[in-house]
Amino acid sequence: MARPVQYNIYGQTDVKLVKEGPEGYMGEGFFSTSLDKVVGLARKNSIWPLPFATSCCGIEFMATMGSHYDLARFGSERVGFSPRQCDLLMVMGTIAKKMAPVVKQVYLQMAEPRWVLAMGACASSGGIFDTYSVLQGIDQIIPVDVYIPGCPPRPEAVIDGIIKIQDLVGKESLRRRNSDKYKQLMDSYGIQ
Amino acid sequence: MNEHHIKLPEGSIEKQTTTLNLGPTHPATHGVFQNILELDGERIISAEQTVGYIHRAFEKIAERRPLYQITPLTDRLNYCSAPINNMGWHLTCEKLLGLKIPKRVDYLRIIIMELARISDHLICNSIVGVDTGAYTGFLYVMQYRELIYEIYEEVCGSRLTTNIGRVGGFERNFNNTAFEKLEKFLNEYPAVLKEFENLFARNRIFMERTIGVGPISAERALNYGFTGPNLRAAGVDYDVRVHTPYSSYEDLQFDIPVGSTGDCYDRFLVRNQEMWQSLSIIEQAYRKVKEFKGKEAEVFHADVPEYYLPEKKDVYTKMEALIWHFKIIMGEIDIPPGEVYQSVEGGNGELGFYLISDGGRTPYRLHFRRPCFIYYQAYEELTKGSMLSDAIITMSSLNLIAGEMDA
Amino acid sequence: MCISPLAKANFQVKMTNDSIKQQLIEKFGDQVQNFQEPYGMLTFEAPKELNLKVLQFLYDEESMGFRFLTDLQAVHYPDNKGRELAVVYHLHNLVANVRIRFKVYTDIQTPDVFSATALFSAANWMERETYDFYGVNFVGHPNLKRILNVDELDYFPMRKEFPLEEQTRVDKDDDMFGR
């Protein structure tokens, strides 16, 4: 089971995993930056996902959570199943029309700020199932932030999607959730 | 009512039962199905099941697609062991078309199917462990599922929804890397399985949580249409690989593990023992594959030009290969009329395919006999009178896969 | 863990398709018809009023012993007037290892068939699924309502006249997708 592990020595390769930190003014014993950046940094490295696994993509998610493609190193050590405590709703798998009200209810129960990740072709657009009983993409009922294509997406693709979510979370302005544009987006889905 | 309950005089205390919705989204990612339980304290009085939360209308889709386009649909039935579903579908088509498959292809199919069965039972047993609180087993064996996925990748390119094989054989020969990975798996996995087994099989906490939980007698199991490890745990040794052998299983020697009471502990042990038997089957099949030398070692499909895509070099040089290539890709091959029922031993039991063809290009009617759908009906009988935590363990030990239940 | 003695014993009980056919004809006369053997599995049909009697006979009779219901589903033949819906039962005798297929035809205006739930508990959900997809009304079923589709669906989707795709999509171009 021991596969050779490559240590990414910072500076010797051109892959940067950890940024130095947000830009700001550093002094003796203090660091001043904008609140957005600090809050964004804290939030993005400690996302608590809610795995809404319905079908095959759920098994690939289990493989991503496993030790080979570890998702916990990105801060998602604790996956929760209670919407009240989670930040990121990961919808994985086909959503049928029977299941759509359940997805909407779980989304409504989440507290702001919340993000949504649609994993797999079925959650993004209905996938290979263009039938009377399958919802053709969850963006018909809830707003989605990141789509991960694939059927099922490889774990590396899932991690790429999580990293994109982390980018979004880190760069989000603190005022976004109260802005008019966000309100318009929510109204277009019928969400108060 | 057992001896711990005190009988109070009538009308002295008002009792109300609780309705608990063990709803479509519940933890431990079993899949989406709903149980509405009526509880009296912790004891379950009745359970009503609702399924269909992932109904994708496979049977209707299949009426539109030529034969090889239905293989990706079968992947998504029991997605933990997708190759078994694929092989079952290819066997159905080959039965309808009356094809004869070379022995080497049969043994390679057996290797892939038994790897898929190990992969399926690993998920089920480790999730039973997770539900009783032991998360370690799950993380430890997921490493070996990754190795199985790598073997699939060498053959067909994909990890989970494999779409492996074609009508008549495989799309490419197994290369040396695939065999090396298989040998690595056969060398390393027995020790891991032994360690996993030691973690649970005689573990007092696990035994107390699973012995006597969710039992079913053999007569009721047969009446409910149980098949697979759940039926074998109840005492009936019905295994499709032995009763109606397909793909040269009759050349190999293996045992069928059988339990006695049909409770969760027996199901766990039956699946565990089946993994040992699958390892032995893979070793025997691998030895038989290695016996083919020279020209015969190049055989990986039957010679059936109407349903198997010809090689590109033939397409560019020979006329018939070009015609067959065009017809197959454009979906203009007519299927001979007939009706056929073929079943394989899936991870959960007898997965059956009933195919009616009327001579057109797509099936007239295709029905999947899905084992999960049939034995989930018995859930109420299994859990009536038991406690809530026992109901959770029963659900996970039955190995309910939502994709197979709703199809 | 050991192999139960059941397995090794009983493939010696010889039941051939002909012997089954003979016994059925003796019991039911010419009401069982249309005996065929596609790919080795004996297939026959009976009028829908007799379906429970035939199933009971196949279950109880010692020389038949078809006590396992493998599968129950329906087929829609829109061109056979008066016999549009076929309900197909697959039965299996586990001891002698014989399978048969039994069909019952009903017409689409009055699709009433007696329910086999009292005999085989496995038939419960299989009949609900058949009702959900084809509209076959199983008389005597304890809980005949939709199982896989949404409860509000007002048509029976697997019948041939209904389309596969949902009809309310506006973003898919029919020319490209060939619908």
Q: What is the pLDDT of residue C131?
A: 92
Name every chain B residue with its beta carbon within 8 A of the beta carbon of C75. Answer: 356, 364-365
Bridge-based pairing state of the strands C68-76 and C85-93:
antiparallel
Closest CA to B225 of C57, C132, C124, C146: C124
Tokens of C51: 């379906």
- Touching subunits of A (3+ CB pairs, under 8 Å) are B, C
- Answer whether B60 sits within 8 Å of C129, measured CB to CB: no
Decide if A132 touches C, using CB distance below 8 A.
Answer: yes
Domain presence at residue B29: no
Q: What is the pLDDT of residue A10?
A: 54
Decide if B160 touches A, using CB distance below 8 A.
Answer: yes
A113 cis-preceded (ω within 30 degrees of 0): yes
C-alpha distance from A136 to closest chain B C-alpha (Å):
11
Average pLDDT score over residue span B124-137: 88
Percent of chain B with pLDDT over 70: 96
Domains of chain A: 40-169+181-189 (3.40.50.12280)
- Answer whether A133 sits within 8 Å of C165, measured CB to CB: no
Q: What is the pLDDT of residue A147?
A: 94
C-alpha distance from B19 to closest chain A C-alpha (Å):
18
Confidence of residue A78 (pLDDT cuts 50, 70, 90): confident
Name every chain B residue with its beta carbon within 8 A of the beta carbon of A96. Answer: 52-56, 406
Average pLDDT score over residue span B92-111: 91
The answer to whether the CB of B182 falls within 8 A of the CB of B111 is: yes
Helix locations, B39-102, DSSP H: 58-62, 71-75, 82-97
Average pLDDT score over residue span B131-137: 86
Decide if C31 touches B, using CB distance below 8 A.
Answer: no
- Answer whether B55 sits within 8 Å of A96, measured CB to CB: yes
Domain presence at residue B169: yes
What tens digit of pLDDT does each residue of B261-304 get? 889 999 999 999 999 999 999 999 999 999 988 887 788 888 88
Decide if B69 touches A, using CB distance below 8 A.
Answer: no
Q: What is the pLDDT of residue A9?
A: 54
Q: ipTM score here?
A: 0.88
Query: In chain C, helix, strand, coil percent, each to 5?
Result: 30, 25, 45
- The count of other CB atoms within 10 Å of the CB of residue B311 is 11
C-alpha distance from A104 to closest chain C C-alpha (Å):
16
Question: 3-class SS at C98?
Answer: strand
Confidence of residue A77 (pLDDT cuts 50, 70, 90): confident
* Residue of C156, C166, C173 for testing the chain A interface, max A β-carbons within 10 Å: C166
Which of B220, B238, B338 lies closest to C39 in CB terms?
B338
Instruction: Count how many pairs of residues, chain B against chain C, have C-beta atoms within 8 Å.
Output: 106
- Answer whether A131 sits within 8 Å of C164, measured CB to CB: yes
- The rounded distance, in Å, linking the Cα atoms of B38 and B45 is 5
Tokens of A178: 């109260």
Q: What is the pLDDT of residue A175?
A: 87
Residue of C nearest to A133 (CA): C149
Decide if B372 touches A, using CB distance below 8 A.
Answer: no
Above 90 in pLDDT, residue A7? Answer: no
C-alpha distance from C54 to closest chain B C-alpha (Å):
17
Residue of B nearest to A2 (CA): B143
* Residue of C55, C130, C148, C162 for testing the chain B interface, max B β-carbons within 10 Å: C148
Decide if A81 touches B, using CB distance below 8 A.
Answer: yes
Domain presence at residue B259: yes
C-alpha distance from B234 to closest chain A C-alpha (Å):
28
Percent of chain B with pLDDT over 90: 38
Confidence of residue B186 (pLDDT cuts 50, 70, 90): very high
Domain presence at residue B363: yes
Q: What is the pLDDT of residue A153?
A: 92
Q: What is the pLDDT of residue A4?
A: 55
Confidence of residue A158 (pLDDT cuts 50, 70, 90): very high
Average pLDDT score over residue span A122-127: 88
Above 60 in pLDDT, residue B235? Answer: yes
Instruction: Count how many pairs of residues, chain A against chain B, have C-beta atoms within 8 Å.
Output: 94
Helix (H) / strand (E) element for C131: namely: helix C123-134
Which of B56, B146, B160 lies closest to A68 in CB terms?
B146
Residue of C nearest to B64 (CA): C164
Q: What is the CATH number of the domain that holds B320?
A: 1.10.645.10
Above 80 in pLDDT, residue A122? Answer: yes
The answer to whether the CB of B110 falls within 8 A of the CB of B187 is: no
What is the rounded (10 degree) CA torsion for B21, B22, B27, B33? -120
What tens digit of pLDDT does each residue of A29-44 get? 888 888 888 898 888 8
Domain presence at residue B319: yes
C-alpha distance from B25 to closest chain A C-alpha (Å):
7
* Residue of C150, C156, C164 for testing the chain A interface, max A β-carbons within 10 Å: C150
Which of B51, B340, B365 lies closest to C148 in CB terms?
B51
Q: How far is CA A180 from CA A87, A128, A172, A183, in A?
A: 22, 36, 15, 5
Question: 3-class SS at C127?
Answer: helix
| Residue ranges making up the domain that contains B259 | 61-406
What tens digit of pLDDT does each residue of B334-392 get? 889 999 999 999 999 999 999 999 988 889 999 999 999 998 999 989 988 888 888 88
Instruction: Count how many pairs of residues, chain A against chain C, have C-beta atoms within 8 Å.
Output: 21
Q: What is the pLDDT of residue B354?
A: 93
- Answer whether A131 sits within 8 Å of C172, measured CB to CB: no
Residue of C nearest to A99 (CA): C150
- Touching subunits of C (3+ CB pairs, under 8 Å) are A, B
- Answer whether C121 sits within 8 Å of B256, measured CB to CB: no
C-alpha distance from C156 to closest chain A C-alpha (Å):
12
Domains of chain C: 5-109 (3.30.460.80)
Confidence of residue A6 (pLDDT cuts 50, 70, 90): low
- Answer whether B374 sits within 8 Å of C68, measured CB to CB: no
Most confident of A64-73, A140-149, B289-298: A140-149
Domain presence at residue B49: no
The answer to whether the CB of B51 falls within 8 A of the CB of B393 is: no
Q: What is the pLDDT of residue C13?
A: 56
Q: What is the pLDDT of residue C91?
A: 92
- The count of other CB atoms within 10 Å of the CB of residue A173 is 11
Q: What is the pLDDT of residue C87?
A: 93
Name every chain A residue with its beta carbon within 8 A of the beta carbon of B54. Answer: 54-55, 93-94, 96, 99
Helix (H) / strand (E) element for B139: namely: helix B136-156
Above 90 in pLDDT, residue B25? Answer: no
Confidence of residue B180 (pLDDT cuts 50, 70, 90): very high
Give the range among A151-155, B5-9, B120-124, B149-153 with minimum mean pLDDT. B5-9
Decide if A97 touches C, using CB distance below 8 A.
Answer: yes
CA B78 to mean position of chain CA atoms: 5
Q: Which residues of chain C have pLDDT under 50?
A: 1-10
Q: Number of structural domains, chain B?
A: 1
Above 60 in pLDDT, residue B318? Answer: yes
Backbone dihedral region for residue B354 (phi beyond 0: left; psi -120 to 50: alpha; all else: beta)? beta
Average pLDDT score over residue span A63-79: 86
Residue of C nearest to A132 (CA): C166
Q: What count of Cα atoms within 13 Å lies in the side-chain half-sphere of residue B302?
A: 20
The answer to whether the CB of B44 falls within 8 A of the CB of B23 is: no
- Answer whether C165 sits within 8 Å of A98, measured CB to CB: no
Above 80 in pLDDT, residue B26? Answer: no
Amino acid sitting at position B309: L
Residue of A nearest to C148 (CA): A98
Domain presence at residue B289: yes
Name every chain C residue with its beta carbon within 8 A of the beta carbon of A130. Answer: 164-165, 172, 177
- Answer whether B242 sits within 8 Å of C1, measured CB to CB: no
Name every chain B residue with its beta carbon within 8 A of the beta carbon of A67. Answer: 139, 142-143
* Residue of C6, C13, C66, C70 for testing the chain B interface, max B β-carbons within 10 Å: C70
C-alpha distance from A33 to closest chain C C-alpha (Å):
46
Name every chain B residue with its beta carbon within 8 A of the beta carbon of C3. Answer: 237, 255-256, 258
Domain presence at residue B24: no
Above 60 in pLDDT, residue A5? Answer: no
The answer to whether the CB of B374 falls within 8 A of the CB of B225 is: yes
The pTM is what?
0.90
Residue of B nearest to A151 (CA): B161
Question: 3-class SS at B346?
Answer: coil
Q: Which of residues 73-132 of C touch B (CB under 8 A)?
A: 73, 75-76, 88, 90, 94, 97, 99, 101, 120-122, 124-126, 129
